[in-house]
């Protein structure tokens, strides 16, 4: 620093600086500065001193010197040299930056990121707030602000900023980035109907109909719980439009018709749902659905025939277990490592086996044509109907059927997600446990399915440079905390946990 030759213009510029104001613009908080006479003392950022205020700035000459002999600032220099050393630029660039400092969004973001790297999150907050105020359509800056809010524990503010960023991406048609944000919003607010509908829209645009339907099922359940059955019917019909052969849509619609006393329409939907369950080799769901239909229409010939075929297929399938897809296995391996790292590992369950081809062939024998419907007998609308115990409407969130998601395959998989540093008592884990405590088993299974589908996307969003390293860390930690909380709640409620 002492070998630099200063031009008269640079010397004059250095002399005109207000040292105190410059330090504040560089991101130093007033509480970190100690003013005494013509000196300002601060923790030296050049050698990252956090113990004593070893850096002294002399305001009468606009020079500085660090008292630590091993620091590059021990030789001293003027304010321009200090600014250049701190910002990692040369003196001429330092002069240009100071001259225009505070006039651009990039300047506020740069100062905020520097504070974040130093762990001064509270001090960084007003800088990112100002940056968003100056450029409200800059989604990247808004996402950084949202991540900072989450790190500071303000989930409502983080949700609000992420939501605005997602809406801006949607206007520009950047659906991959929009989906990345909505996945985060879903973790913050699992019951938000607006988020669920938007996720369904996004998945539909991305040709991932099964995941689109899974989101709409949550919306249907909320309508049913509030007694808004016509809204629930409309949403079911929307699900059927997206994927006519998706069985849960027909079953849920059938159950709603049963509640309304529209038995004939209900039996039609339940019969359709049963056939589609059989095609997917989901024999358990097929049997539950056909039994429900026969409770209301015990003489229905089509349902009787379907039940006989299902029971035959179940006999062949009894000796095998359902295979897990590759994505779920990768997720479980990561979750197992995460639980070990955090210190909440569980015992290892038995490995999954492949589904038998013989059972698939038996299930495939189910008729493809609509069986003739007979008017249900022994049933009356209104009072006297059997209670809908054990139906999907008690929790419309059964995990997606055996068929894997229709997400387009990728040639290269992102590397394994780094394991965040969490403890079992991390407040985020405790927050998510409280939030998930009253969920039904089917709701928990649906959430787990979505986390499995998110697994690669969370990694890809970081690898593709979509977010800063700080934001990536916050997202990874929130995702990991949610996964651990969900795994613990599923274990307590009787659901299966990942191997450890």
Cβ 102 vs Cβ 121: under 8 Å? no
Number of Cα atoms under 13 Å in the Cβ half of residue 297 = 26
What local confidence, expressed as pLDDT, does residue 138 receive?
Answer: 85
- Summarize pLDDT for 61-115 with one digit per residue, the tens: 999 999 998 999 989 999 999 998 888 888 888 888 777 665 678 888 888 998 9
Residue range 279-299: mean pLDDT, rounded: 88
Q: Give pLDDT tens digits for 414-452.
A: 555 667 778 888 888 888 888 888 777 777 877 877 777
pLDDT value at residue 360 = 42
Span 164-174, mean pLDDT? 79
List of residues 6+ apart from 253 with CB closer than 8 A: 233, 236, 237, 240, 269
Q: What is the pLDDT of residue 460?
A: 65
Q: Which residue has the higher pLDDT, 175 or 126?
A: 126
Confidence band for 173, pLDDT divided at 50, 70 and 90: confident
Is 50 exceeded by the pLDDT of residue 349? no
The string of pLDDT tens digits covering residues 228-237 is 889 889 888 8
pLDDT bin (cut points 50, 70, 90) of residue 292 is: very high
Tell me the C-alpha distance between 223 and 239, whole Å: 14
Compute the C-alpha angle 460/463/466, nearest 5°. 85
Q: Is residue 39 over pLDDT 90?
A: yes
> What integer pLDDT is reported at residue 347 of this predicted model?
44
SS3 58: strand
Q: Which residue intervals of the chain bear CATH 3.90.580.10?
A: 8-100
The CATH architecture of the domain made up of 8-100 is: Alpha-Beta Complex (3.90)
Phi and psi based region of residue 163 (left: phi greater than 0; alpha: psi -120 to 50; beta: remaining): alpha
Out of 118-127, 353-362, 461-470, 482-491, least confident range = 353-362
Q: How, if at all, do strands 77-78 and 63-66 pair?
A: antiparallel
First to last CA, the chain: 55
pTM of this prediction?
Answer: 0.53
CA dist., res. 470 & res. 472, Å (int): 5
């Amino acid at each position: 620093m002492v070998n630099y030759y200063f031009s008269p213009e640079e010397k004059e510029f250095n002399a005109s600086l207000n040292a105190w104001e410059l330090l504040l613009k560089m991101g130093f908080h007033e509480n970190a500065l100690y003013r005494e006479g013509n000196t300002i003392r601060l923790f030296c950022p050049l050698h990252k001193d956090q113990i004593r205020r070893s850096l002294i700035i002399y305001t009468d000459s606009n020079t500085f010197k660090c008292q630590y002999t091993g620091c590059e600032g021990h030789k001293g220099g003027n304010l321009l040299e200090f600014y250049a050393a701190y910002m990692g630029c040369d003196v001429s660039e330092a002069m240009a930056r100071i001259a225009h400092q505070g006039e651009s969004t990039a300047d506020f973001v740069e100062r905020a990121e520097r504070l974040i790297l130093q762990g001064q999150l509270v001090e960084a907050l007003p800088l990112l707030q100002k940056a968003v105020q100056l450029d409200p359509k800059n989604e990247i800056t808004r996402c950084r602000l949202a991540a900072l809010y989450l790190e500071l524990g303000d989930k409502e503010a983080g949700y609000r900023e992420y939501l605005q960023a997602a809406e801006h991406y949607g206007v520009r048609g950047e659906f991959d980035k929009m989906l990345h944000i909505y996945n985060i919003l879903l973790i913050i607010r699992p019951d938000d109907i607006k988020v669920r509908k938007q996720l369904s829209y996004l998945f539909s645009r991305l040709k991932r109909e099964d995941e689109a339907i899974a989101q709409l099922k949550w919306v249907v359940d909320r309508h049913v719980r509030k007694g808004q059955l016509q809204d629930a019917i409309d949403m079911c019909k929307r699900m059927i439009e997206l994927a006519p052969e998706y069985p849960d849509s027909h079953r849920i619609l059938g159950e709603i018709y049963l509640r309304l006393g529209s038995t004939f329409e209900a039996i039609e939907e339940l019969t359709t749902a049963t056939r589609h369950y059989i095609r997917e080799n989901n024999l358990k769901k097929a049997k539950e659905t056909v039994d429900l239909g026969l409770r209301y229409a015990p003489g229905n010939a089509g349902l009787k025939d379907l039940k006989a075929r299902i029971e035959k297929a179940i006999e062949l399938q009894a000796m095998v277990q359902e295979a897990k897809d590759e994505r779920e296995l990768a997720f479980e391996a990561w979750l197992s490592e995460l639980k070990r790292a955090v210190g909440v590992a569980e015992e290892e369950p038995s490995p999954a086996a492949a589904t038998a081809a013989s059972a698939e062939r038996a299930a495939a024998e189910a008729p493809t044509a609509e069986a003739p419907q007979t008017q249900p007998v022994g049933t009356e609308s209104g009072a006297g109907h059997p209670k809908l115990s054990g139906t999907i409407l008690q929790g419309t969130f059964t995990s997606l059927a055996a068929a894997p998601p229709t997400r387009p395959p990728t040639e290269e998989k992102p590397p394994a997600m780094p394991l965040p540093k969490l403890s079992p008592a991390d407040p985020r884990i405790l927050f998510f446990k409280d939030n998930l405590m009253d969920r039904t088993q089917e709701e928990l299974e649906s959430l787990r399915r979505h986390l499995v589908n998110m697994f690669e996307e969370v990694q890809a969003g970081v690898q593709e440079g979509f977010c800063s390293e700080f934001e990536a860390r916050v997202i990874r930690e929130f995702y990991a905390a949610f996964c651990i909380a969900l795994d613990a709640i599923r274990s307590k409620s009787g659901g299966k946990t990942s191997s450890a």
